Structure 1
Amino acid sequence: MERSIAAAGQGEEWPPSQWWRGYNDPQLDALIEAALTDSPDLASAIARVRQARGALQASRSSVLPSLGAQGSGEFAKQSYNNGTPASALPQGWEDYGTLALSANWNLDIWGKNRALLAAATSATEAALAEVRQAELVLTSEIASSYFDLARLLEREKVLEEALKVRESSEELTAKRFEQGLENEVPLRQARAEVARARGLIVANREQIARRRHALAALLGAGPDRTHDLVPAPLERIAMTRVPADAGIALAGRRPDIVAARRIVEASQSGTEYARKSFLPDVSLGGLIGLTSLGISNLFNDGSDYGSAGAAVSLPIFQGGALSGRYRVARAGYDSMVASYNKTVIEALQEVADAIASRDSASRQREHALDVETEAEAAFGLASQRYGAGLTTYIEVLTSQTSELDARLSALDAQFATLASDVALKRALGGGYAEENDEKANSDD
């Protein structure tokens, strides 16, 4: 197998945002692009962003003045028996008209509504980060599944070769048994090896089918979507070199950590809102309009009226409701902080494990390739010795069996290296760049 590893570009952030393109496999690129468009999991996360943006828009209105308009027209007759002299009242049925504009503004002196807005902003940013986390999980699972399918398809070819070798060995052993050169034990062992080889092929085909189905599900499609999918051989898939500074320091770019941090900030702002709910609300209000007896007089001089003033609302006794809400908010904040700390600790462990696994997988791959090289050489020598009449064909078959086993081990090691590479990129956030406030406030 090819031992070369493609070097990462100098001066580029690692991993890049579209890290899967580094494997130089157009078919993998197409699968991931399709999944990013059609995945139900991703659609659900995006819907939560729209929901959060709607809540943000509603919260933003609380810090802005409100303006309203009213208008009415009616026919009415006054009662002459309500204590007002009939001579002072309109006679009979009359039409009335009213037009008015009203304005109100909560001054938010203590910043209560601004705290509510900050909570909604942080919640929206958390939802955006959760979308990126869903994308990262989806793309990494597709890449790993794609590489595993490539391994299984190549493994089937080797297993079929191994079955032919074991069948040939069984035939030779049977002839030697018939000629009295072997007892029954080697023959039984040879037959058992044939049965075992056939069982391995059946099991491998089941794994291929299950892997195809899993890939189709990740793409948001039915099982037939990947029925004819044939990935490139593992040895043709490039692997990016891991930069020397790729480590725990990069874990802060993970979208799940960013989302957890934003959730903490939202909870903190919510706690501030609950604390400031004990303070009075001060608002300004005003009304200006027209009203008249007789709609035709509505725009005549003297029909105007209006009012303006300030209002103060102070909660005095709420039966413990405000205290209870503050305690709930404070406990929720403490819970979110603990959850954030847990997320960070787990992320650091995941990064450390991924780095160790990537390093170990690379070393094991080198050893597996060495074993494969030596096994190929041994098989070649055995074939030469048989051609020169210096050994039996049984020795050739035995050597070929060892060579095939070494090829299987090399395939597994190659896949393990690719899988650990994907896992490391996922652990480091997949090149995620935190969304800014402008994106959080966007309606797109």
Structure 2
Amino acid sequence: MCFALSGCQAITPVSLPPTPDMFVAARHQQRLSELNGFSQAPAPRDWWRLFGDSRLSDLVAQAIDANLDLKSASERIAASEALLGLTDAANQPQLGAGADYTRAAISGHSPLHDLGAPTTPFNTWRIGLQASWEIDLWGRLAQLQQGSLERRDAGVADYEGARISIAAETARTYLLLRGVQAQLQLNADAAELARAEIPLAESRIRNGVVGRAALDVARAGLDKVAAERAALSERRDRLANALAALLSRGPHDLDAFLGVAPPPRLPTTLPAGVPSQLLQRRPDIAAAEARLRAAAAEVGAAEADFFPRINLKGGFAKEAYTVSELGSWASRAYSFGPTVYLPIFDGGRLKSTLALSQAQQREAAIGYQQTVLRAWREADDALDAVAAARQKLKQEESAKRHYDDALAAVRRGFDQGAADQSSVLAARRAVLAVSGARLEALVAAQLAVVELFRALGGGWSANEARS
């Protein structure tokens, strides 16, 4: 029964909107069966350890501990916990104590004085307790509390999402840095090769084999290698500073710790988990679901506002003209009784509040569906990217082996007098080129693995978060 003259709405529960998760999960399962190198073992929470690089593991641990974005996310959780405490307090009985002292006198021209009241000053002492409790008959306070709880859970999921992003960005930046360092080593080999071509060109010019342009080309090649080295050095420093920023450190603070090392190995087997559990492993999905439930709870609270509010209030106090009289039982004063608030006319405030809550709930439902679809797309794209990157790396490694064999054959021919130095230099250039392509393929495959674990939720579990 509804008593509000401004309009009433039925309080109905709201379920999660339908998503194509079962169909996409089946497709995801099929993709896993088509690809090699994946297992259905749960993705590890510390997935970056699969690269077998202790420096990478240390950097990620430091980033999670010191990153300012994560600290901000942690403070947002603390704020949502405090808000949850406020809504919980509103659902509990309220009890307070008070004491006051008053010295007063009435006017000589007061009607009370005309009736015989004296005008001499007098004291009033009072000490007592006051209690109140709103009876939540329609579930308004419970819905508000549920909404705060869901907002808190969304904050926890947001924190885990930020944690996964920080870990992935740290790993990504580190792998790029190691790749650039390896490119610098290849650049040093290319510079050595370019310098070796200059005297060869000079000798061939003296012997009349080639013209002057050959020397200009050789020197231009050396200049080009030097220019590439400058660009690589700048990128190396920028990546090192990006890593320092992720750890909330100053520029170049990590240079000594990082040192120079080759790129880590590529994991051979990737635990991708069970596809049907993807919805439980993505923090962004958990956050979107929690916000949808919070919006539904706020709709329920807005609907309950149309119904009367009933409060129980009571108080007990001691009142006296002197302090010594406060101990007397005759000084007691008390009150107890219910109060009812009935909304009659509010200018449409309740209806507008309900319409706003319902619109926010519909928006949250759309956001939830978008998040689920994006999660499946990112997971599927990441699987394809890892498979393609692995295949490319395999082909580049095969090409490098062939070029290495070709270089060895040319060197044997040079030692036997069947090949000249220019043939050796040409073979070395080919090996350097394919080595650079192989390095790019390796780094691309490593980055694809990082994106895969980001798409899979980084080993996070909604059940673990709830516990």
TM-score (norm 1): 0.92
2:442 alignment partner in structure 1: 414
User: Aligned equivalents of 2:276 and 2:224: distance in 1?
Assistant: 45
Cα displacement (A) at 1:187: 3.5
Instruction: Find 1:114's aligned residue among 124, 139, 142.
Output: 142
1:156 maps to which residue? 184
Q: Does 1:13 align with 2:42?
A: yes
Distance 1:438 1:152, change over 3 A: closer
Q: Identify the residue that residue 54 of structure 1 maps to in structure 2.
A: 82
In 2, Cα distance between equivalents of 1:437 and 1:160 = 49
The partner residue of 2:400 within 372, 385, 400 is 372
Give the deviation of 1:324 after TM superposition: 1.0
CA contact (8 A) 2:303 2:354 kept: yes
Say which SS state the counterpart of residue 220 (structure 1) adopts: coil
**Alignment counterpart, residue 413 of structure 2, candidates 377, 385, 405:** 385
Matched, 1:233 2:262: yes
Report if aligned partners of 1:27, 1:231 keep a CA contact under 8 Å in 2: no
CA distance in 2, matches of 1:270, 1:33: 38
* SS at structure 2 position matched to 1:106: strand
1:62-84 superposed Cα distances (whole Å, 9 cap, x missing partner): 11110011111222223454333
SS of residue matched to 1:225: coil
Would the aligned equivalents of 1:251 and 1:427 in 2 still touch at CA under 8 Å?
A: no
Identity %: 26
RMSD over aligned CA atoms reads 2.1
Please say if residues 130 and 255 of structure 1, whose CA atoms lie closer than 8 Å, have aligned partners that are also in contact: yes
| Paired AA for residue 452 in structure 2 | L
1:417 offset after TM fit, Å? 1.3
Q: Distance in 2 between matches of 1:279 and 1:160?
A: 79
Distance in 1 (CA, whole Å) between partners of 2:108 and 2:88 is 50
Select which of 27, 48, 62 maps to 1:34: 62
Q: Quick check: 368-377 or 178-187, which moved more?
A: 178-187
Letter in 1 for 2:357: A
Question: For each residue in 1:276-299, what CA deviation from the matched residue of structure 2 results, as whole angstroms up to 9, or x when unmatched?
Answer: 111110111111111112221111
Name 1:302's counterpart in structure 2.
330
Contact 1:150-1:230 within 8 A present in 2 as well: no
Partner of 2:166: 138
Q: Distance in 2 between matches of 1:354 and 1:248?
A: 16
Pair 1:245–1:219, CA change in 2 (3 A): closer
CA offset digits 1:30-85 (Å, max 9, x no partner): 11121112211111111111111111110101111100111112222234543336
Residue 229 (structure 2) pairs with residue 201 (structure 1): yes
Distance (Å, rounded) in 1 between the aligned partners of 2:382 and 2:40: 23
Kept after mapping to 2: 8 A contact 1:95/1:295:
no
| Number of the residue aligned with 1:95 | 123
1:291 to 314, 319, 326: 319
- Asked if structure 2 preserves the Cα contact closer than 8 Å seen for 1:251 and 1:351, the reply is no
- Report the counterpart of residue 290 of structure 2 in structure 1: 262
Matches within 5 A, 1:346-357: 346-357=374-385
Deviating above 6 A after TM superposition, structure 1's stretches of 4 or more consecutive aligned residues are: 435-439
Q: Which runs of 5+ in 1 are unaligned?
A: 1-6, 440-444
**Corresponding residue pairs, total:** 430
CA gap 1:437/1:183 in 2 versus in 1, 3 angstroms? closer
Please point out which of 240, 249, 268 is paired with 1:212: 240
The TM-score with structure 2 as length reference comes to 0.87
Residue in structure 2 matching 1:69, options 97, 105, 110: 97
Is the partner of 1:389 in helix, strand or coil?
coil
